[in-house]
């Protein structure tokens, strides 16, 4: 477990990153390695790559840790081939065990390796059905259920197995799965989690969670994989099948606000730009007359603070320095040091903040403990006034689509008014960007996005009956054996 005092995000935690490449003649394991390296922010618990020569055996390596810790140069040489899929994981279903790392490699009726980002809301039902059919499991993730569904299906091909499985899987899934000959990539009919398609060299193709993974390997962005679409990468190039068009597109709004890397593009927009715009709109809608400086909470609040400064004319200054090397596996600090825990990650600069009225900008507040500590630190450093501005609405509802937020009761905005949250945090004023302004910043519409963690409007029917991250362990402890 990560001590709260060290993890300034306090949730939401990033989800997972997926990558797939079909590129005979290229060093696909290196491409996958660098693709995953660019997607490291989406999951830091485990990483894995599966690779194969065309028609050859699939070799998989996965382990707990960061991409740079999991693979050596020697490992990557052993993973050489023509096609590969890869995964970085933060657990949204199932605990942080090696067995739950991905890609999942199964060899039932057919051999495959699968990497998934998202969360199935009917995982328990699918699991029970598969167990009743005599299918065995080693892991406790919905991703293994998906892999088992595809590996055991009686369809003639993996392609047909996917086509039959998509209508049966409810929830969020951006998935890459390879057999010995091709890479398949598909998205749920709502397109909740992102996935894009790119080209590398003359005949190579790549799919990835975000465009930043294309940039790092020199691939060019072609288009997004559409909601409900299956694309197949093989010697024919890209084959597309629209398997199940969704009644309603529901791309995750929080990807724009926080999850995705600022140098990724979504909906045709550079996210860094959208985030700066959120700050500008916040300055328009919730100004702080007479403030001396705008201070970002690094790194998440930096683009928003820049936007607020631009919108208000108030200069932005670094009031905190962040230690970028505090990792999730940090040794627990013990009681005495715990009191000062957050300083391991943030240190305020009295020379910058002393005697000043500050506008402090961050992109979200979940539980509020860290925000409260940041306010106290700034006061201890001599700040005269602290005005918090958040470039997203209050988070009041958990995500069931692949992002690990706190439970509803743990959220600081749960059953609290903004004034009550302000009092809890202890700042002079607090304001959030409202949902309409977020849509204005991302140039998108509610009708094509999910904003359930803010609004409570879940785009998939039956979502609230879902049982949470440890649904499988809670319901079916035997699957851990």
Question: Which of 433, 450, 460, 472 is close enough to bind ligand SF4 by CB under 6 A?
Answer: 450
| 240, two tokens | 């597309």
Q: By CB under 6 A, what part of segment 313-342 binds ligand SF4?
A: none
- Of 34-42, 136-144, 445-453, 471-479, the window that binds ligand SF4 (rule: CB under 6 A) is 445-453
CB of 401 to ligand SF4, least distance (A): 4
Q: Which is nearer to ligand SF4, 82 or 210 (CB)?
A: 210
Q: Which is nearer to ligand SF4, 123 or 453 (CB)?
A: 453
Residue among 16, 196, 252, 453 flagged as catalytic: 16
Q: By CB under 6 A, what part of segment 452-481 binds ligand SF4?
A: 452-453
Question: Which of 76, 139, 231, 403 is close enough to bind ligand SF4 by CB under 6 A?
Answer: 403
Q: By CB under 6 A, what part of segment 383-402 binds ligand SF4?
A: 399, 401
Q: Say which residue the tokens 């715009």 belong to.
A: 277
- Of 21-29, 139-147, 236-244, 447-455, the window that binds ligand SF4 (rule: CB under 6 A) is 447-455
Question: Which of 192, 276, 297, 433 is close enough to bind ligand SF4 by CB under 6 A?
Answer: 192
Q: Which is nearer to ligand SF4, 198 or 394 (CB)?
A: 394
Q: Which is nearer to ligand SF4, 113 or 253 (CB)?
A: 253
Q: Which is nearer to ligand SF4, 30 or 449 (CB)?
A: 449
Told to check if 451 binds ligand SF4 by CB under 6 A, we report yes
What is the rounded distance in angstroms from the CA atom of residue 199 to the CA atom of residue 44?
27
- Indicate if 16 belongs to the active site: yes
Q: Which is nearer to ligand SF4, 193 or 265 (CB)?
A: 193
Q: Which is nearer to ligand SF4, 81 or 398 (CB)?
A: 398
Collect all residues with Cβ–Cβ distance below 8 Å to 398 and sequence separation of at least 6.
405, 406, 407, 408, 453, 468
Q: Say which residue the tokens 């926080």 belong to.
A: 258
Q: Is the peptide bond before 276 cis (omega within 30 degrees of 0)?
A: no
Nearest to 43 by CA among 116, 131, 107: 116
CB of 406 to ligand SF4, least distance (A): 12
Count of residues interacting with ligand SF4 (CB under 6 A): 11
What is the rounded distance in angstroms from the CA atom of residue 177 to the CA atom of residue 166?
13
Q: By CB under 6 A, what part of segment 248-277 binds ligand SF4?
A: 252-254
Question: Which residues partner with 89 through β-bridges?
Answer: 16, 46
Residue 276 dihedral angles phi and psi, to the nearest 5°: -65, -40
What is the rounded distance in angstroms from the CA atom of residue 184 to the CA atom of residue 232?
5
Dihedral (C-alpha) 33, 402, 473, 364: value to the nearest 10 degrees? Answer: 110
Nearest to 93 by CA among 476, 433, 419: 476
Told to check if 90 binds ligand SF4 by CB under 6 A, we report no
CB of 192 to ligand SF4, least distance (A): 5
CB of 43 to ligand SF4, least distance (A): 15
CB of 464 to ligand SF4, least distance (A): 12
CB of 264 to ligand SF4, least distance (A): 15
Q: By CB under 6 A, what part of segment 131-160 binds ligand SF4?
A: none
Identify whether the C-beta of residue 414 lies closer than 8 Å to the C-beta of residue 408.
yes
Cα Rg of the chain (Å, integer): 23
Collect all residues with Cβ–Cβ distance below 8 Å to 403 and sequence separation of at least 6.
12, 13, 14, 15, 92, 252, 254, 259, 453
Q: Which is nearer to ligand SF4, 352 or 399 (CB)?
A: 399
CB of 459 to ligand SF4, least distance (A): 8
CB of 403 to ligand SF4, least distance (A): 4
Q: By CB under 6 A, what part of segment 22-81 binds ligand SF4?
A: none
Active centre residues (catalytic): 16
Binding residues vs ligand SF4 (CB under 6 A)? 192, 252-254, 399, 401, 403, 450-453
């Amino acid at each position: 477990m990560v001590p709260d005092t060290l993890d300034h995000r306090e949730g939401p935690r990033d989800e997972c990153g997926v990558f797939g490449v079909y590129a005979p003649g290229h060093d696909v394991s290196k491409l996958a390695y660098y693709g995953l390296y660019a997607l490291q922010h989406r999951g830091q618990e485990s990483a894995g790559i599966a690779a194969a020569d065309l028609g050859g055996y699939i070799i998989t390596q996965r382990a707990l840790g960061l991409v740079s810790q999991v693979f050596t140069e020697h490992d990557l040489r052993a993973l050489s081939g023509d096609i590969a899929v890869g995964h970085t994981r933060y657990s949204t279903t199932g605990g942080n065990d090696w067995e739950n790392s991905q890609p999942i490699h199964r060899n039932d009726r057919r051999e495959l390796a699968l990497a998934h980002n998202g969360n199935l809301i009917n995982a328990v039902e699918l699991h029970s059905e598969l167990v009743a059919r005599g299918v065995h499991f080693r892991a406790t993730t919905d991703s293994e259920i998906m892999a088992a569904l595809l590996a055991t299906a009686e369809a003639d091909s993996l392609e047909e197995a996917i086509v039959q499985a998509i209508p049966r899987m409810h929830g969020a899934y951006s998935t890459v799965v390879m057999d010995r000959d091709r890479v398949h990539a598909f998205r749920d009919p709502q397109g909740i989690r992102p996935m894009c398609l790119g080209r590398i060299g003359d005949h190579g193709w790549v799919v990835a969670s975000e465009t930043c993974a294309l940039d790092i390997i020199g691939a060019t962005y072609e288009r997004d994989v559409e909601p409900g679409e299956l694309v197949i990468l093989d010697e024919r190039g890209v084959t597309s099948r629209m398997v199940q068009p969704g009644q309603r597109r529901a791309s995750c709004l929080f990807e724009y606000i926080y999850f995705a890397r600022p140098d990724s593009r979504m909906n045709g927009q550079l996210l860094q730009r959208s985030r700066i715009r959120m700050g500008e709109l916040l300055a328009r809608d919730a100004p702080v007359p007479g403030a001396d400086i705008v201070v970002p909470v690094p790194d998440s609040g930096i683009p928003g603070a820049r936007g607020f400064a631009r919108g208000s004319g108030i200069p932005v200054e670094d009031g905190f320095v962040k230690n970028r090397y505090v990792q999730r596996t940090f040794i627990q600090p013990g009681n005495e040091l715990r009191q000062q825990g957050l300083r391991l990650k943030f240190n305020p600069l009295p020379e910058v903040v002393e005697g000043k009225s500050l506008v402090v900008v961050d992109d979200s507040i979940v539980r509020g403990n860290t925000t409260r500590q940041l306010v106290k630190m700034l006061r201890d450093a001599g700040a005269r006034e602290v005005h918090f501005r958040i470039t997203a609405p209050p988070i009041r509802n958990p995500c069931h689509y692949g992002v690990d937020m706190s439970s509803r009761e743990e959220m600081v905005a749960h059953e609290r008014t903004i004034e009550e949250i302000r009092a809890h945090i202890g700042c002079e004023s607090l304001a959030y960007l409202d949902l309409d302004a977020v849509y204005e910043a991302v140039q998108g519409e509610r009708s094509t996005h999910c904003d359930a963690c803010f609004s409570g409007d879940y785009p998939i029917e039956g979502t609230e009956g879902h049982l949470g991250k440890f649904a499988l362990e809670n319901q079916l402890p035997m699957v851990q054996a």
